[in-house]
Amino acid sequence: MTKYPSKGLASEPSRRLGYLLKHAQLKMAEVNARTLAPYGISGRELAVMLVLTGQKPPSQQQAAHRLGIDRTTMVGLLDALEDKGLVSRHTDADDRRRNVVELTDAGQDTLRRAGAASEEAEREFLAPLSPQAAEQLRNSLHAIVHQRLAGTDG
Amino acid sequence: MTKYPSKGLASEPSRRLGYLLKHAQLKMAEVNARTLAPYGISGRELAVMLVLTGQKPPSQQQAAHRLGIDRTTMVGLLDALEDKGLVSRHTDADDRRRNVVELTDAGQDTLRRAGAASEEAEREFLAPLSPQAAEQLRNSLHAIVHQRLAGTDG
DNA sequence: TATTGTTATACTCTATAACTATA
DNA sequence: TATAGTTATAGAGTATAACAATA
């Protein structure tokens, strides 16, 4: 009856971290999509809008960097948000290569309402966990995502 | 200085669960790919091989279901593993519609060595966490992945 | 020369529909 | 009729290369 090795290393496929992370992410995306549907935006678009709320509006490349996505991907995301009237692009007067991206008034309104809905989605996603476990999950993921990978120099 | 709302709901994009799960999963996939490269298989292929180690060899569809992937996706994965000589398919005598999938001897050997490498990858991935936090991360993800979604009836 | 935004292109992962052989 | 495996196809999501405008 050796179900799992005692050291936390899983031989059962459904206990492998790769499996767990992938399926947790799929579930989160699913809950997010369902919750955000009434506002006409995706989870990725909400994340982009969230990045535009700092004190000074970022360039497209800065926004892309903060989300860890490619600048070519950002173009398409902003195209969609601009078509919906939620963000606007203006050439930066100080560096005319750059586009400064800002939320429109409609964008700020949508962000407020969709942001609240997204927090509700996180609550639903975390429902099976105690508040302490939920907080530690967030902290652990944060620590892992921001770790510097061994074997990567640069 | 209200950096984060006190209830654990993140307004900072890099604290959102969607962001954290996506990037954690990317990092895990990256570590897995690097660690498994010497064995000539991907993380997904290792997961498939792991599923074939139960007492009775599953059909393709059963294997797909255990991994939460589509049966049409399983076809391609098994094609690749079969080309590498790591698995074999035989029609099930009891139900000739089914393919029974088994590891070859080479497959069992590769699984042993690549499985150990993958556990090492998990250790590297979990390095920033205490052993307790790592174990709780696994348990929390497991609880979330196996929760029944509210609002989904069936 | 280097950088920003853009476009075109390709590659991976996945899902859907339709086919075949079996039940 | 329903199911298992297969194939073809299409849709996301992403990355790379190349281009124009600007630094």
Q: Minimal CA–CA distance to A11: which of B135, B50, B26?
A: B50
Closest residue on chain B to A8 (Cα): B135
> Cα–Cα distance between B69 and B51 in angstroms, integer?
12
Asked whether residue B151 is domain-assigned, the answer is no
pLDDT score recorded for residue B14: 80
- Shortest-distance nucleotide from B22 CA to C1': D13
**Does the pLDDT value for residue B62 go beyond 90?**
yes
pLDDT score recorded for residue A15: 87
- Shortest-distance nucleotide from A98 CA to C1': C4
With 0-12 / 13-18 / 19 or more C-beta atoms within 10 angstroms meaning exposed / middle / buried, residue B42 is: middle
Domain tally, chain B? 1
DSSP chain A: ---S-TTS---SGGGSHHHHHHHHHHHHHHHHHHHHGGGT--HHHHHHHHHTTSSSPPBHHHHHHHHT--HHHHHHHHHHHHHTTSEEEEE-SS-TT-EEEEE-HHHHHHHHHHHHHHHHHHHHHTTTS-HHHHHHHHHHHHHHHTSPPTT---
pLDDT score recorded for residue B13: 78
Give the residue with greater pLDDT, B82 vs B4: B82
pLDDT score recorded for residue B27: 95
Asked whether residue A126 is domain-assigned, the answer is yes
pLDDT score recorded for residue A154: 29
CB of A87 under 7 A from strand C? no
- Shortest-distance nucleotide from A71 CA to C1': C5
Q: Minimal CA–CA distance to B24: which of A148, A149, A142?
A: A142
Give the residue with greater pLDDT, B10 vs B82: B82
CA distances from A127 to A49, A113, B124, B147 (A): 26, 21, 29, 9
pLDDT level of residue B2 (50, 70, 90 thresholds)? very low
Asked whether residue B127 is domain-assigned, the answer is yes
pLDDT score recorded for residue A149: 53
Identify the residue among B27, B30, B125, B141 best suited for mutation to test binding to A, counting A beta carbons within 10 A and taking the highest: B141
Contacts of A145 in chain B (CB under 8 A): 14, 20, 23-24, 27
* Domain limits for position A121: 45-143
**Does the pLDDT value for residue A92 go beyond 50?**
yes
Q: Average of pLDDT values for B23-46? A: 94
Asked whether residue A92 is domain-assigned, the answer is yes
> Cα–Cα distance between B127 and B135 in angstroms, integer?
12
- CB within 7 A of nucleic chain D: A 42, 44, 69-70, 72-73, 76, 95-97; B 22, 59-61, 64, 71-72, 74-75, 78-79, 89, 95, 97-99
Q: What percent of chain A has pLDDT over 70?
A: 88
Asked whether residue B132 is domain-assigned, the answer is yes
Task: Tell me which nucleotides of strand D come within 7 A of a protein CB.
Answer: 3-8, 13-18, 21-23
Task: Give me the amino acid identity at A135.
Answer: E
CB contact under 8 A, B142 and A30: no
pLDDT score recorded for residue A133: 98
The model's pLDDT over B72-91, given as tens digits with 9 standing for 90+, comes to 999 999 999 999 999 999 99
Asked whether residue B134 is domain-assigned, the answer is yes
> Cα–Cα distance between B35 and A149 in angstroms, integer?
13
pLDDT score recorded for residue A14: 81
Average pLDDT taken over every residue of chain A: 88
End-to-end Cα separation, chain B, in angstroms: 46
pLDDT score recorded for residue B139: 96
Asked whether residue B152 is domain-assigned, the answer is no
Q: Tell me the three state secondary structure of residue B59.
A: strand
The model's pLDDT over B104-153, given as tens digits with 9 standing for 90+, comes to 999 999 999 999 999 999 999 999 999 999 999 999 999 999 887 554 43
Window from A118-127, B7-16, B51-60, B99-108 with minimum mean pLDDT: B7-16
The model's pLDDT over A19-61, given as tens digits with 9 standing for 90+, comes to 999 999 999 999 999 999 999 999 999 999 999 998 788 999 9
pLDDT score recorded for residue A72: 96
> Cα–Cα distance between B125 and B105 in angstroms, integer?
30
**Does the pLDDT value for residue B10 go beyond 70?**
no
Q: Average of pLDDT values for A10-14? A: 71
CA distances from A3 to A46, B51, B54, B105 (A): 41, 14, 12, 24
What the block records as the tokens of B20 is 């954290």
What the block records as the tokens of A105 is 């008034």
**CATH code assigned at A60:** 1.10.10.10
Task: Tell me which nucleotides of strand C come within 7 A of a protein CB.
Answer: 3-8, 13-17, 21-23
Asked whether residue B131 is domain-assigned, the answer is yes
Contacts of B38 in chain A (CB under 8 A): none
